[in-house]
Each structure stands twice: as C-alpha cells, then as structure tokens.
C-alpha cells in the first residue's frame, strides 16, 4: 500500500483502517524540557493505538499558539491537502491555535480530515499560558500602534 501511495502521490489507498496524524504543541522550551511535549505525544500514541488508527506521521511544535510560523502545524496542513490522512489527533483544540482555530478546523474539514481532541478539560496551567498569549497580543498591537504614530508629527 505504501509503495502504491508513493506512486500515486497520495495516501488515499489504505488497508481498511483509518489513517491519522498526531500533533502536539507546548508553548515554551521549559515545558518541552520538563517532558510535557513527550508526555502529550505519548498520550496521543496510546489513543491512536487503542482505537486502531494507522499513524501516518507525528508532528510537534515548541511555540506559542499565536505563532503563525509553526513547522509542525504547516506539515499537518500540507499532508491534509495531499489527502494523506483522515483523522488529526490532538490533546486539546487550543493545541492547534489560540485564536482562529475555527479557520484551521474548516480547512481540515474541507480536506476531509476530522479533528479528534482526546481530552475534555485543559489543565490548570493552561490558564497561565492563555494569560501569556494575551500579553503577547497586547504587546504586538502596542508596538504596531506606537510604530505607526512614530513617523507622524
């Protein structure tokens, strides 16, 4: 099947089981160094195994949910556009993006991909992560505002 899929440049031929991609994200290198990223990925692997999914690929990012230059997420989207998998398994919806998650979900749905979030409730430290993201938004807008005014007298 893999050889035929390579020849056809798509992942549309499968052996009857559902194909999936795993995606994990943490906001900081400190979280990754503490093992949070690997634990998250391990939970995703376990879920895929228990539900009989064929894991096509695993992607991870160490970046804010506001960061638009996440290579793992870019690869998730590329594979979806190529029809390489049918399920995206994540831990929480905010692992995809803090804001604009609906756009990503809509795009993936258009590509024929269903998003499966395996956890119901975010951990307590997710609130502090959200506060950091909100501060980053305020900082970004402040810099643009003051930068736009800097050239005017």
pLDDT in the model for residue 9: 58
Cβ neighbour number for residue 99 with a 10 Å cutoff: 11
pTM: 0.70
Tens place of pLDDT for every residue, the chain, 153 residues?
666 655 665 555 555 468 999 999 988 899 888 888 999 999 999 999 999 999 999 999 988 777 778 899 999 999 999 999 999 999 988 888 877 788 889 999 999 999 999 986 655 566 666 776 676 677 766 766 766 555 554
Active-site residue list: 27
pLDDT in the model for residue 75: 95
Residue indicated by tokens 């990754």:
32
Helix (H) or strand (E) holding 20, with range, is strand 19-26
CA 140 to chain centre: 22
pLDDT in the model for residue 129: 67
pLDDT in the model for residue 60: 93
Specify the long-range contacts of residues 146-149, CB closer than 8 Å, at least 24 apart: none
Q: What is the DSSP letter of 18?
A: P
pLDDT in the model for residue 8: 63
> Which domains does the chain carry?
2-150 (3.40.50.1390)
pLDDT in the model for residue 22: 97
Alpha-carbon distance of 52 to 29, in angstroms, equals 32
């Amino acid at each position: 099947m893999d050889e035929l899929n390579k020849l056809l440049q798509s992942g549309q031929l499968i052996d009857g089981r559902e194909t999936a991609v795993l995606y994990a994200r943490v906001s900081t290198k400190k979280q990754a160094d503490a093992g949070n990223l690997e634990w998250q990925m391990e939970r995703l692997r376990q879920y895929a195994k228990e539900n009989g999914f064929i894991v096509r690929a695993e992607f991870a990012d160490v970046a804010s949910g506001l960061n638009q230059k996440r290579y793992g997420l870019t690869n998730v989207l590329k594979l979806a556009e190529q029809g390489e998998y049918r399920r995206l398994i994540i831990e929480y919806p905010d692992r995809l993006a803090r804001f604009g998650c609906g756009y990503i979900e809509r795009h993936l749905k258009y590509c024929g991909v269903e998003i499966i979030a395996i956890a119901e409730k975010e951990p307590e430290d997710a609130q502090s992560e959200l506060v950091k993201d909100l501060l980053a938004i305020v900082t970004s807008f402040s810099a643009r505002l003051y930068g736009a005014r800097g050239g005017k007298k």
